[in-house]
Chains A and B, each alone.
Chain A
Amino acid sequence: MSKVWLIIQREYLTRVRKKSFIIMTLLTPILLAAFMILPGLLITMSGDTETVMVLDESGLFEDKLQDREDLKFIPLAGSLEQAKMAYQETDYTALLYIPEMSIDNPQGITLYGKKNTSLQTQVRLENTLEKEIENQRFLASGLDRETLDKIEANVKLSTINLSGEGEKDNNAIITSIAGVAGAVIIYFFIFMYGVQIMRGVIEEKTSRIVEVMISSVKPFQLMMGKIIGIAAVGLTQFLLWIVLSFVAVTAVSAAFGIDAAPSPAAQFAAGQAAAQGEEEEEATATSTVDNPPQENEVANTISDVKRGFANLNIALIFGCFLFYFLGGYLLYGSLFGAIGAAVDNETDTQQFMMPITIPLIIAFIMSYSVVLKNPDGPVAFWMSIIPLTSPIVMMVRVPFGVPAWELLLSMALLIAGFIFTTWIASRIYRVGILMYGKKINYKELSKWLFYRV
């Protein structure tokens, strides 16, 4: 046992001290933070006030185009030619020309710009004009905006799950995200670190140290030490990513003073506020009409998100995540190790990688296409029971709620599957690591399983 421990230490330390590991670990959270921050930053930067000159020949929008924070209007008089010339001398964003027209047929409105006007400006202006025209039409038909707002309905379904365990709120989107996020992480972890195991074994083979090693330790110890050591590397990287991402995102948001970035703290605060707002709202249910409808919507969505997370059984999901994370990794890791032992160099691995990658990829694709839509269907059930696909598929299902017996069966089978693949892998491994310069095929591999060594 102490020998396995020595191997684990070596595998772990040599990898963690590598430059590539340190760079990857530091760079990923920074990139992640950048991806989260940049869009927000760009929006704020492009959010400069735009000034639009308006030549309104119809007179319909006189005094109606109100200046807003990000959009200012400067009314002009005279002919279109004059207006164009006046516009040329300024550095305003655009010139809006509204010709003579009736409210029933608002045609011919033109926007002149120096460069291509941004889609954003265009949409903003269109919305403003549309709204104004609508207002005027309402007026013409005897309605006003306020009456309309009272009429406008804003329905948001509250979904409640009436399962055996009593009522609980159910938010399909949040549930999906939690499950899929876990599944995606497991998928990439298996691939990234599985391949590392394979490379490690090939490295030992090509550097010819393996014979020295197995004159001191059993091949099985060497293989398990490597698998466990690399798992520790993966967990380390994963935890560092979580911590560093949190730090990076918080730091960057603070530095730029944006809360466009969904920093967890900001989210939490928003949730709190929304929750309070919601209580008040319910207390004065009938008076909600006073609130502008958009604000209401935002508050509702945020509180939905918050409630969605609160209703997920975080402990169960996290526990399952850890179990399937490690179980899936161990199941595939030993197979990757066996491939490494069977070949002489990385280019020969392709033919053996196929049968390993296919179940993983199928599980991944099915998670999106079938399991998410029908988390209790037969495909979801079987794929979450079979050990080769269960680490990914079950992870997607767990947040939706899975009967305990299914979960236990899936876990038991995963453990059994792991023991089985490790057995196969160790049989292949002990023969393969001492075999050089031989082209291996499946027939040969299957013979190795029953070699007496």
Chain B
Amino acid sequence: MSILKIEGVTKTYANHVALDNVSFEIPTGCIFGLLGPNGAGKTSLIRIITQITGADSGKIFFKGDRLRPNHIKDIGYLPEERGLYKKMKVGEQLLYLTQLKGLSKADAKARIKTWVDRFEIRDWLNKNIEDLSKGMQQKVQFIATVLHEPSLIILDEPFSGFDPINANLIKDEILRLRERGATIIFSTHRMESVEELCDYIALINQAQKVLDGPVKEVKDTYKTDTFQVIGNGRLLITSPDFQVMEQHDNHGVFRANIRLLNNTTPNDLLRYLIQRVEIHSFIELVPSINDIFIQKVKETHHV
């Protein structure tokens, strides 16, 4: 079952269309990449899901029900523009934000305790936010986002501003949250950064959904049966079954991108090559989401 179903959502601001009839579903328990360049409409969509703004038309279903104000409790949101009350103590701030999500004071305190221990930040509880380093603030903010244990967690550009160590920590935390059944939406324009994490993606460009689906399927669809071969010798392909897309020779070492034609298999190519050259490396060239996106955007422009 999908945790979130978006049906024909349209949102127009005074003079531009932010979302144009966008529909897709987000399956429960996955990591979902909401991808697209800056200004594509990702943040608008997220603000509609978090009920910060409303859609002009279209419907959103959360766990099968129409999205309602009391669903806020079950959604955690880390906005791109991050911030906390600077002059408030970490502990009070976490308590406040969690209580605003609708948790009782006692529950909130218990959860803060477990999370604080997990992140080993017990000493920070009585410090003001402004006295923490930027990385520490980000950690606190991440905790504030997931403290009420929402089943849907929305992270807008989650890794911007994190140093590599903290970014890894957050990555691990995200994977752990998924294991516990939470659904995570990643929104980013840096597609390579989340490709490895995402199970599903949706690509948005100029207010419209360009494509969506499981990452593997998307990639398979856009696979071009191209292999990169590196080896020794003089490579000269004469078979009509294989097409050389690109080739570089350098002091007897070659590197070539070869495409399979006429339903040949990679093994056919290997057999063909082995007879002629010495092979050092043979890899399938899988398109990155970024490549697919660029290709897709070009296609839509041509149409």
Please give the residue numbers on chain A whose beta carbons come within 8 Å of chain B beta carbons, in ascending order. 3, 6-7, 10, 14, 203-204, 207-217, 434, 436, 447, 451-453
- Which residues of chain A are within 8 angstroms of B96 by Cβ–Cβ distance? 6, 10
CB distance from A201 to the nearest CB of B (A): 13
A216 vs B73: C-alpha distance when bound (angstroms): 8
Residue of A nearest to B82 (CB): A208
**Proximity string of chain B (137-155) to chain A, C-beta cutoff 8 Å, 1 when within and 0 when not:** 0000100100000000000
- Give the distance to chain A from B82, nearest Cβ to Cβ, in Å: 6
* Cβ < 8 Å to A, chain B residues 39-77: 47, 50-54, 56, 72, 75, 77
Measured CB to CB, the nearest residue on chain B to A431 is B53
B84 touches A207 (CB 8 A): yes
A208 and B97 in contact (CB under 8 A), knowing A215-B50, A215-B52, A452-B54?
A: no
Q: How far is the CA of A64 from the CA of B54 in the complex (A)?
A: 95
Question: Assuming the A-B contacts A215-B72, A217-B100, are A207 and B83 also in contact, with contact meaning beta carbons closer than 8 angstroms in the complex?
Answer: yes
A189 to B254, CA, bound (A): 81
Q: Which residues of A contact B86 (CB under 8 A)?
A: 203, 207
Say yes or no: A212-B14 contact (C-beta < 8 A), given A6-B99, A453-B53: no
Q: Is the CB of B52 within 8 A of A211?
A: yes
- Taking the closest CB of chain B, its distance from the CB of A204, in whole angstroms, is 8
B interface residue numbers (CB < 8 A to A):
14, 47, 50-54, 56, 72, 75, 77, 79, 81-88, 96-97, 99-102, 141, 144
Q: How far is the CA of A223 from the CA of B79 in the complex (A)?
A: 20
Residue of A nearest to B80 (CB): A211
> Can you identify 21 A-B contacts, CB atoms within 8 angstroms?
A6-B100, A10-B88, A14-B85, A203-B86, A204-B85, A207-B83, A207-B85, A208-B79, A208-B83, A211-B77, A211-B81, A212-B84, A212-B97, A214-B52, A215-B51, A215-B52, A215-B77, A216-B97, A436-B81, A451-B14, A452-B56
Complex Cα gap A217–B52 (Å) = 9
- Name the residue on A nearest B69 (C-beta): A218
- In the complex, chain B residues whose CB is within 8 Å of the CB of A213: 100
A453 close to B72 (CB less than 8 A)? no
Q: Inside 8 A of B14's CB, which chain A residues have their CB? A: 447, 451
Q: A6-B100, A216-B97, A434-B52 are in contact. Are A209 and B72 (CB under 8 A)?
A: no
Question: Given B47, B51, B79, B99, which contacts A212 in the complex, CB threshold below 8 Å?
Answer: B79
Nearest chain B CB to A83 CB, angstrom units: 72
Tell me the minimal C-beta distance from A130 to chain B in angstroms: 66
Q: What separation, in Å, do the CA atoms of A212 and B102 have in the docked complex?
A: 14
Given contacts A6-B100, A207-B84, contact A216 B72 (CB under 8 A): yes
What's the nearest-Cβ distance from chain A to residue B102, in Å? Answer: 8
Min CB distance B293 to A, Å, is 26
User: How far is it, in angstroms, between the C-alpha of A115 and the C-alpha of B51 when the chains are bound?
Assistant: 80
Given A10-B96, A217-B100, decide whether A211 and B79 contact each other with a Cβ distance below 8 A.
Answer: yes
On whether the beta carbons of B54 and A212 are closer than 8 Å, the reply is no
Question: B53 to chain A: which residues have CB within 8 Å?
Answer: 453
Q: Which of A208, A211, A215, A452 contacts B75 (CB 8 A)?
A: A215
**Are the CB atoms of B77 and A212 closer together than 8 Å?**
yes
> Which of A3, A208, A209, A217: most chain B Cβ within 10 A?
A209
- DSSP majority for the A interface? helix
- State A190–B82 Cα separation when bound (angstroms): 32
Contacting residues, chain B, for A208 (C-beta < 8 A):
79, 81-83
Residues of A within 8 A of B102 (CB): 3
Which single residue of chain A is at the shortest CB-CB distance from B100?
A216
- Residue numbers in A under 8 Å from B77 (CB-CB): 211-212, 215
Q: A residues within 8 A CB of B82?
A: 208, 212
Residues of B within 8 A of A453 (CB): 53-54
- Shortest C-beta distance, B222 to chain A (Å), equals 35
Q: Is the CB of A216 within 8 A of B83?
A: no
Between A3, A207, A208, A453, the greatest number of chain B beta carbons within 10 A of the residue's beta carbon is seen for A207
Distance in Å: Cβ of A72 to nearest Cβ of chain B: 63
Closest-by-CB residue of B relative to A9 is: B96
A209 touching B84 by the CB < 8 A rule? yes
Given A208-B81, A216-B97, A436-B81, verify A14-B52 contact (CB < 8 Å): no
Give the Cβ gap from A223 to chain B, nearest Cβ, in Å. 15
Give the docked Cα–Cα distance between A203 and B85 (Å).
8
CA distance A434 to B97 in the complex (A): 19
Closest to B145 in A: A212
A393 to chain B, nearest CB (A): 38
Enumerate the 4 nearest inter-chain pairs by beta-carbon distance, A residue then B residue, closest first. Answer: A208-B83, A211-B79, A216-B100, A207-B83
Question: B87 — which chain A residues lie within 8 A by C-beta?
Answer: 14
Q: A203-B86, A215-B72 are known; give 14 further A-B pairs, CB within 8 A.
A: A3-B100, A6-B96, A14-B88, A208-B79, A209-B83, A209-B84, A211-B77, A211-B79, A212-B141, A216-B72, A216-B97, A452-B56, A453-B53, A453-B54
Inter-chain contacts of B51 with A (CB < 8 A): 215
Question: Bound state CA distance, A207 and B99, in angstroms?
Answer: 20
Q: Are B83 and A212 in contact (CB under 8 A)?
A: yes
Q: Give the distance to chain A from B7, nearest Cβ to Cβ, in Å.
A: 19
Complex formed: what's the CA distance from A452 to B57 in Å?
12
The answer to whether B100 and A209 have CB atoms under 8 Å apart is no
**Please, which residues of chain B bring their CB within 8 A of the CB of A434?**
47, 52
Highest count of chain A CB atoms <10 Å: which of B51, B52, B88 = B52
Residue of A nearest to B72 (CB): A216
Is A216 within 8 A of B81, CB to CB? no
A452 to B18, CA, bound (A): 14
B97: shortest Cβ distance to chain A, in Å? 7
Q: Which residues of chain B are within 8 angstroms of A14 by Cβ–Cβ distance? A: 85, 87-88
Contacts A215-B75, A447-B14 known; A209 to B54 CB distance under 8 Å?
no
Nearest chain B CB to A157 CB, angstrom units: 58
**Across the interface, which residues of B come within 8 angstroms of A217, CB to CB?**
100
A203–B47 CA distance with the chains assembled, in angstroms: 21
